[in-house]
Amino acid sequence: MKFDTPATTNPIDRMKVVGQPVDRIDGKRKTTGTARYAYERNDAAPSAVYGYIVGAAIAKGRIERIDFAEAKAAPGVLAVVTHENAGTVAKAQAHTARMLAGPDVQHFDQAVAIVVASTFEQARAAAKLVRVTYARSAGKFDLAAERSAAVKPKDGKPDTAIGDFAGAFAKAPVKLDQTYTTPDQSHAMMEPHATTAAWTGSKLTLWTSNQMLNWAVRDMSKTLGIPKEDIHVLSPFVGGGFGSKLWIRSDAVMAALASRAIGGKPVKVALTRPQIMNNTTHRPATIQRLRIGARKDGTITAIAHESWSGDLPGGGPETAPNVTRLLYAGANRMTATRLATLDLPEGNAMRAPGEAVGLLALEAAMDELAETLKMDPVQLRIVNDTQVDPESPKRAFSHRDLVGCLRTGAERFGWNKRNPVPGQVREGRWLIGMGMASAFRDNVTMKSGARVGIDKKGVVTVATDMTDIGTGSYTIIGQTAAEMMGVPLDKVIVLLGDSSFPVSSGSGGQWGGNSSTAGVYAACSALRDSVARKLGFDPTDIVFEDGKVKSGNRSVSLAEAAGDAGLSAEDSIEFGDLTKTYAQSTFGAHFVEVAVDSATGEVRVRRMSGAFAAGRILNPKSARSQVIGAMTMGVGAALMEDAVVDKRFGYFVNHDMAEYHVPVHADVPYQDVFFMDETDAKSSPMKAKGVGELGICGVGAAVANAVYNACGVRIREYPLTLDKVIKGMPPVA
């Protein structure tokens, strides 16, 4: 099905199942422990043995010698695989660094070997007996030191220039020119990167924790040099990814190599927390300069956003300025992105790449501009709203209700009670402040397919290689099929996470929910047509409801229509040029109240509220869960998350959950989430848009702005740890 004209009235609009806050259909399996994850596939891969990865002890250099004789002789050890005996291991295009080092080492903790043994403990103990001799080379590990050497990226992230920014900024009566920094961050997902691999002859099966199965097949084919049709990937349940599992990592590659080395027997590999931090990907640090020129009424006349980030040779930048290209009006504007070469582990996608860190800077700058103008921060954003792409005014937004979000959010939060003068509201030793920020995330769609069938009992089964990374994919896909085929949700079976199923959009970039359900919509539409043809019904005058197919005064049950042989159909949604014709984005407004300890500088978030416009919300219950999780991640980015680089040796020092701090239950306050009532017919037949990443966008800046309102300390270097807060506060009498 081609989606190249705006959606009209369709069966989804009935909203009998879609749009309802139903419980997750996979919830019982999750809560009873019967949902099997990649490391737990004893049912499909019995008698598996264990692999333990040995990581590089240097960040850059060469392996001169690997001696694993002692490890190979250790109790229970079955094999030791290195670059010397692994055979050809290529680098997939999607990977910046190779999944197996040797002889060159590209980053700290890059896999240099895997030890395979009968038990995990035996594999781990023997891994310590692998002796690697390195020739260390000098590396670059400091973004600030490499800033002047950064260059334009080669991967199509252009600088932009509209109008005359320099001239307009020089003439602006009110100016802001500030630099903000964000640190390296880790995904810290609940389930580690894990894989169980097994070979049957020349065919490889991977039970792995992965967000994008079709990409996994593609990249494993390239890495191992085997045909795609010889690779079967299964990821029915994924315990969080946030972008780190968009591509296969060393757990999958090394497990496959290990299994092949022992004759195909299943091998389990799970990365430890320190390995996740240094062996996989992270959100790269940024340096961002914001310049805004405005009239005294708050109207922006000039805006510029420049960003510097780093990655390994061949990698890409953090695209922080992208948000500034679309969020606010202003005739004169420019953005620039620069990439430095750093020899740190690979920088790559983390929840809402670009916007998440870009808004930490832009929305703090907007707050500072409002302070300079002595203008309400909400009103400043309303004044600078635009209904067209600021860089291309002939390109209107498909649907944009940022102003509605700002006004609704402010009213629900009680923003009118805010004292605009910092440091004036106190409860005992606590200074109380309120802050806000806009939320923005571009809407992306991806081709997505599915197969839908009806059996002789009238049960509808959906199969697609879509993954559920904790977002509720099973449920919204089931809701879509139920709505389209006119059956209750308990009459739908959803099968996900198997590369033998039709290729879906996969989970990532906030495109998964909207795109995958649109693919199911397409398959259901094809199945509805098949039913109509079989029954001799007019397909333009047919209704599916209550488990029956109705046309005029005729009514046939789905079970009868399917017959003993059943019926099935397969189709994909293919998106046309509507994203070029219209700017498609999602919007929101965050409001936060914090308390700052006047003696210690400790910051506590007391309550959060947000209003969001993201098209039709397919399941308000699971969508809310996505947003409150994203808001919580935003609190972490604002107050604690910082992957600290040892600039001597090039690795992340605080590489476990004890020292890389993320919010815990005690840090999560009351969270109010409100979804604006909207549909976007130009986005998909579902009239939905993505929402999973929108919740993190802007919330960190809202926290920082609230801290400033509470105590008058403006911090432009994230995270806002208490040492930075207390440094700017007056001494306690």
Active site residues: 693
Q: How far apart are CA 281 and CA 245, in angstroms?
A: 9
Tell me which residue of 339, 280, 344, 286 sits closest to 312, measured CA to CA: 344
Q: How far apart are CA 290 and CA 180, in angstroms?
A: 8
The crossing angle, in degrees rounded to 10, of helices 213-224 and 250-261 is 50
Tell me which residue of 87, 86, 83, 81 sits closest to 126, measured CA to CA: 81
Contact call for residues 437 and 447 (beta carbons, < 8 A) = no
Side chain identity, residue 561: A
Q: Can you point out the beta strands (E) in 429-498?
A: 430-442, 448-454, 460-463, 492-495
Q: How far apart are CA 251 and CA 65, in angstroms?
A: 23
As given in the structure block, the two tokens for residue 365 are: 């700058």
Contact call for residues 424 and 671 (beta carbons, < 8 A) = no
Q: How far apart are CA 516 and CA 259, in angstroms?
A: 33
The residues facing 185 across adjacent strands are: 283
The residues facing 672 across adjacent strands are: 609
Place of tokens 């390296």: 184
Q: How far apart are CA 197 and CA 44, in angstroms?
A: 11
Q: How far apart are CA 492 and CA 544, in angstroms?
A: 14
The Cβ of residue 587 has, within 10 Å, a number of other Cβ atoms equal to: 29
The residues facing 306 across adjacent strands are: 289, 336
Q: Is 33 exposed, middle or buried (0-12, 13-18, 19+ CB in 10 A)?
A: exposed
- Residue 611 phi/psi, 5-degree rounding, is -120, 135
Q: How far apart are CA 117 and CA 723, in angstroms?
A: 47
- Residue 408 phi/psi, 5-degree rounding, is -65, -45
